[in-house]
Amino acid sequence: MTELNIEATSATPQINLDKHLGRFELKGKSFPEESRSFYAPLFSWLEEYTLEPNEQTLFEFKMEYFNSSSSLIILEILNLLDLIHKKGKHVTISWNYLDIDEDMLEAGEEYADLVSLPFEYHPLTDDEF
């Protein structure tokens, strides 16, 4: 399975998915004009990954901002990861947020209530973000 790497733009996040390195990352800002089409490669990759996932998956979110359509996309990503978790594989969500951004922390907590995945919350400083 080849890795998926998409560079960030001013309106779209960086995406790094690498099964062999065990690296699963979404970071930056997300407010693309066409959320569904921008995230289509990610969904294709994750759907293939769900067929033969690693024993352990740590998916890191490091979002600065996302709009409502991206919020739905994030929930769909979490639902796919939840399928892997329900197959008995170990999946953890690392929810990284700017330490002064309470809204982003609350968003992570709301997502955690909607899926059965364990979440880890990491407040970061400007320098770490």
How much is the pLDDT for 53?
A: 97
How much is the pLDDT for 122?
A: 97
Judge whether 86 and 93 are in contact, CB under 8 Å: no
Question: How far is residue 111's CA from residue 7's CA, in Å, rounded to a whole number?
Answer: 25
**Terminal Cα distance for the chain, rounded:** 29
Q: Is 81 exposed, middle or buried (0-12, 13-18, 19+ CB in 10 A)?
A: buried
pLDDT in tens, 65-80: 999 999 999 999 999 9
Q: Is the pLDDT of residue 129 over 90?
A: no
Q: Is the pLDDT of residue 3 over 90?
A: yes
Judge whether 19 and 3 are in contact, CB under 8 Å: yes
Please report which confidence band the pLDDT of residue 34 belongs to, taking 50, 70 and 90 as the band edges: very high
Q: Is the pLDDT of residue 18 over 90?
A: yes
CA 71 to chain centroid: 11
Please report which confidence band the pLDDT of residue 93 belongs to, taking 50, 70 and 90 as the band edges: very high
| Sign of the alpha-carbon dihedral angle for 104, 110, 111, 112 | positive
pLDDT > 70: percent of the chain? 100
pTM: 0.96
pLDDT mean over 86-101: 97
